[in-house]
Chains A and B, each alone.
Chain A
């Protein structure tokens, strides 16, 4: 019961309290001239330097859920779970050049969201609306998943209840506090808290990867224990190495996830908040430090096997919750006070991305739905206000998802989220390089990619479920004579691109109106100090086009 975990609970609560205070104080950190502007609330004044960006983006991309779910996957399936490492390696060279272009064009035109860019580039509010909705839908379940990370910790500390409300009361309180300081401080709150979160995680993991192998008999014994477990299991696709069936899935999942990650609105929010192009480029070299951390965290799954950890029961009878293995491992192997620090690292680790994600979703709503369709002449202060309120609504929605729905539903949605956010790749990422695609072609391609992706995910069965059983699509469904599987998102985005290209050719032949590009080639290279960058002013590009004396 919870009394056995009193020390852990006290340490966890104290650290949680500390970051809550920091969250409120953050409003005065790097004090803005005027907080009532979306650039200030939603992008921290677009002023973050190298270190802050490193902590912020690192804290944003490597979420609490990642830290809990990746070792859980390793625990359950072995090598296939290690895809997180190549995934977070290939992403940085992949986006090294793309993101600086997005930063430059956004800086010059005052774009806050990826949909802002698409609207201007392709002169299409409809396409921008689709991008915005895709972003919001993909982000919502991601926020809900952060709660699952906190819950895994609370469950291990014995903080549970008999009914749904009592069980969820701690996370409702935690999220209420989070919502309050995000409302007040905007992006500055997670930026400041990220320092604490990441420092705690680095300390915990360094101690874990040095101390635990020593206690468990060395790395050789840890891998041997994992190997023995997978040999004994009936599943042919687990093991400490990949086999012929899941290699293609491993590689396409790593690549697809990498392509998807920086299309997520919260990643773009973190990038746009940086001060100049150099900060982004240097961070592309520095952020892989987190990948090393993630690789080591993944191996905690094998340490849990070697330590004989038995996961706690899941929500439905007879099931087990593999997400509890890391907290259980800490509980079993570490002194209570240090386990408390580790739990706080995971708990606070959930708050940083949850805050940034809710800000990003709120910005999308404000810029691309509210300002576009509801109140065209909204002032910057009104925009900031709408965003603040929307961020509250988003968090209430995330908590409701966890309290009232089966958490499995959020996990499914997040799986879908990765696939659907990939469908914005042609408009957002390729759009930064070329305007070759016709706006209507991009819309039709998006529809095709979404439709195919959803159908494929629906078809994927797992040992326990008939549909939405994962993202590894058996190629035999397409009529190939093989047992290989492939990541759904890659196939869907390939079809999306092909359809967009074909429709573009057809529309061009029919001479259908293409709209006017609101950006210039020069915009993609603008840097800090550019004379045409006017931070802080209303900068909807259509009106800002006239030369200003």
Chain B
């Protein structure tokens, strides 16, 4: 649980800017799963799954990884 920051000097109002270059990373898991050339094939198979199925399921990890990374990198500085 992220505890609310105790400091917050009176001059700076509690503002979390959502402009960060890290945010551009979010385009990767939006664009990659929408390109059929990557996944629309049968081989190689993994545990009997054609590529079409295992690769799209693997894109879930890509999405989770990217959103987690962006969240961690854009969290308010000074948080524990």
Chain B, interface residues (CB within 8 Å), range? 35 or more
Q: Is A288 an interface residue (CB 8 A)?
A: yes
B33: which of A223, A254, A529, A530 is its contact (CB, 8 Å)?
A254
Q: Specify which chain A residues have a CB less than 8 angstroms from the CB of B26 in the assembled complex.
A: 93-94, 96-97
Q: B1 on the interface (CB 8 Å rule)?
A: yes
> Known contacts A86-B34, A219-B48: does B4 contact A529 (CB below 8 Å)?
yes
- Shortest Cβ distance from residue A45 to the other chain B in the assembled complex, whole angstroms: 18
Check if A499 is an interface residue, CB within 8 A of chain B: no
B49 touches A241 (CB 8 A): no
CB neighbours of B13 from chain A (8 A): 522
Is A90 an interface residue, CB under 8 A from the partner?
Answer: yes
Closest-CB distance, B58 to chain A (whole angstroms): 10
A85 is contacted by which of B16, B57, B66 (Cβ under 8 Å)? B57
Cross-chain contact B67 with A86 (CB below 8 angstroms): no
* Complex interface: chain A residues within 8 A of B67 (CB): 92-93, 96, 281, 284-285
Closest chain B CB from A83 CB (angstroms): 10
Tell me which of A291-299, A407-415, A442-450 binds B: A291-299
In this assembly, does A501 line the interface, its C-beta being within 8 Å of a C-beta of chain B? no
Q: Mark B1-31, 1 if CB is under 8 A from A, else 0.
A: 1101000000001111110000100111110
Within 8 A of A (CB), among B39-60: 40-42, 45, 47-50, 52-53, 56-57, 59-60
Are the CB atoms of B33 and A90 closer together than 8 Å?
Answer: yes
Once the chains bind, are A86 and B14 in contact (CB under 8 Å)? Answer: no
Cα of A445 to Cα of B30 in the assembled complex, Å: 26
Chain A hits for B56, CB < 8 A:
82, 85-86, 89, 295
Measured between beta carbons, the chain A residues less than 8 angstroms from B23 are: 97
Question: Given A255-B34, A525-B18, are A219 and B49 also a contact pair (CB < 8 Å)?
Answer: yes
* CB contact list, A213-257 vs B, under 8 A: 218-223, 240-242, 247, 250-251, 254-255
Is A79 positioned at the interface, with any CB of B under 8 Å from its CB?
Answer: yes
- Whether B71 pairs with A281 at a CB distance below 8 angstroms is yes
Tell me, rounded to whole Å, the shortest Cβ–Cβ distance linking B28 to chain A: 8
Given contacts A285-B67, A295-B57, contact A97 B18 (CB under 8 A): yes
Instruction: Give chain A nearest CB distance to B43 CB in angstroms.
Output: 11
Point out the residues of chain A lying under 8 angstroms from B17, CB to CB: 525
A524 to B16, alpha carbons, bound, how many Å?
9
A82 to B36 alpha-carbon distance, docked (Å)? 12
The secondary structure that dominates the B interface is helix
Q: Which residue of B lies closest to A213 (CB)?
A: B48
A275: min CB distance to chain B, Å: 10
A241 touching B18 in the complex, CB below 8 Å, given contacts A82-B53, A295-B56: no
Chain B contacts of A241 at CB under 8 A? Answer: 40-42, 50, 52
With A86-B34, A89-B29, A219-B49 as given contacts, are A527 and B70 in contact (CB-CB < 8 Å)? no
List chain B residues, Cβ under 8 A from A518. none
Provide the residues of chain B in CB contact with A85, threshold 8 Å: 33, 56-57, 59-60
Q: Are B48 and A223 in contact (CB under 8 A)?
A: yes
A50 within 8 A of B: yes
A141 nearest CB across to chain B (Å): 27
Q: Which residues of A sit under 8 angstroms from B36, Cβ to Cβ?
A: 242, 247, 250-251
Knowing A223-B49, A254-B33, A255-B34, say if A89 contacts B63 (CB, 8 Å): yes
- Report B-chain residues with C-beta under 8 Å of the C-beta of A220: 45, 48
Whole-angstrom distance between the alpha carbons of A292 and B62 in the complex?
12
Q: Is A49 an interface residue (CB 8 A)?
A: yes
- The interface centre, meaning the residue of A86, A92, A100, A222 with most chain B CB atoms within 10 A of its CB, is A86
A522 to B59 Cα, complex, angstroms: 35
A321 within 8 A of B: no
Instruction: Judge if A477 is at the interface, Cβ distance under 8 Å.
Output: no
Q: Contacts A82-B52, A285-B68 hold; do A49 and B1 have CB atoms under 8 A apart? A: yes
Report whether B14 and A530 are in contact in the complex, using a CB–CB cutoff of 8 Å: yes
Residues of B within 8 A of A92 (CB): 29, 63, 67
Q: Cα distance A336–B64 when bound, in Å? A: 37
B contacts, CB < 8 Å to A: 1-2, 4, 13-18, 23, 26-30, 33-36, 40-42, 45, 47-50, 52-53, 56-57, 59-60, 62-64, 66-68, 70-71, 75
Give 18 A-B pairs besides A92-B63, A291-B60 with Cβ atoms closer than 8 angstroms. Answer: A49-B1, A85-B57, A89-B60, A93-B27, A93-B29, A96-B26, A219-B47, A219-B49, A223-B53, A240-B52, A241-B42, A242-B52, A251-B34, A251-B35, A281-B71, A284-B67, A288-B63, A529-B4
Q: Which 3 A-B pairs have the closest CB atoms?
A: A219-B48, A220-B48, A86-B33
Please list 8 pairs of residues, one from A and one from B, whose beta carbons are closer than 8 Å in the complex, sorted by A's number: A89-B59, A93-B26, A93-B27, A93-B28, A93-B29, A93-B67, A282-B71, A295-B57
